[in-house]
Chains A and B, each alone.
Chain A
Amino acid sequence: DAGVIQSPRHEVTEMGQEVTLRCKPISGHNSLFWYRQTMMRGLELLIYFNNNVPIDDSGMPEDRFSAKMPNASFSTLKIQPSEPRDSAVYFCASSLEVTEAFFGQGTRLTVV
């Protein structure tokens, strides 16, 4: 398996623009997680899905953030409108029954 695949690896956008991050989990995994990593706050869980259903989105910072998982092989994290403080590395991870999480390479987002 190719592991968790995230795209794009890098994204630079202007403040106010919509940003969409994409994730393909490992085939057969039933849980998917979106994390955000910053120097100040470390690794924060934004939202997680189990069997394509959002279970806990309490980590989503604001209504500007939304996430979807239309099927078992694809998820998106959208920020609209984006702000400079959203600049971070965003990780997607997947797991089977949450015994451990497998991480993608991350998307480095820069909002200018």
Chain B
Amino acid sequence: AQSVTQLGSHVSVSEGALVLLRCNYSSSVPPYLFWYVQYPNQGLQLLLKYTTGATLVKGINGFEAEFKKSETSFHLTKPSAHMSDAAEYFCAVSPASGNTPLVFGKGTRLSVIA
């Protein structure tokens, strides 16, 4: 079975500061890993995903994440926060084999202070 833990339900950063949102996963098989973003009153939008290959994955809006198997982590980063980055961010995992749904973390709300 898969599970996801997102550390910190709310993260606040200043505009221009580094964004770091933490995600740890548990999976008994090699995982696929995802980050989604949800803006107010919107659905979830894929930011980036790791399936195979390079462990540093780049996504939209300047975000990137690194898959670290030894740490079972997939933390999301962005060098410089922008006001438009304020949203809810969800980490998700699915097994690399088989046709089973994503398991989501509880989400982290990112606030950006001017």
B42 and chain A: residue at smallest CB distance: A105
Q: How many A residues have CB within 8 A of the partner chain?
A: 23
Taking the complex as formed, is A31 at the interface, i.e. its CB lies under 8 A from any CB of chain B? yes
- The answer to whether B43 touches A31, judged by C-beta atoms less than 8 angstroms apart, is no
Contacting B at CB under 8 A, from A13-48, are: 31, 33, 42-43, 45, 48
Instruction: Report Cα–Cα, A48/B43, bound state, in Å.
Output: 18
How many A-B contacts are there with CB distance less than 8 Å?
Answer: 50
A103 partner, pick from B43, B98, B100, beta carbons under 8 A = B43
**Contact A50:B107 (CB < 8 A) given known A100-B34, A104-B43:** no
A105's contact among B43, B94, B107, by CB below 8 Å, is which? B43
Q: How large is the interface on B (under 10, 10 to 19, 20 to 34, 35 or more residues)?
A: 20 to 34
Q: How far is the CA of A93 from the CA of B44 in the complex (A)?
A: 9
Name B's A-contacting residues (CB within 8 A): 32, 34, 36, 41-46, 49, 51, 90, 94, 98-107
Please name 15 pairs of A and B residues whose Cβ atoms are closer than 8 Å in the assembled complex, sorted by A. A31-B99, A42-B104, A43-B44, A50-B99, A55-B99, A91-B43, A93-B44, A98-B98, A98-B99, A98-B102, A99-B32, A99-B49, A100-B102, A104-B43, A108-B41
List 15 other contacts, CB 8 Å, given A56-B101, A99-B49, A105-B42: A4-B43, A42-B107, A43-B106, A43-B107, A45-B103, A50-B99, A55-B99, A91-B44, A93-B44, A97-B99, A99-B32, A99-B51, A100-B49, A103-B43, A104-B43
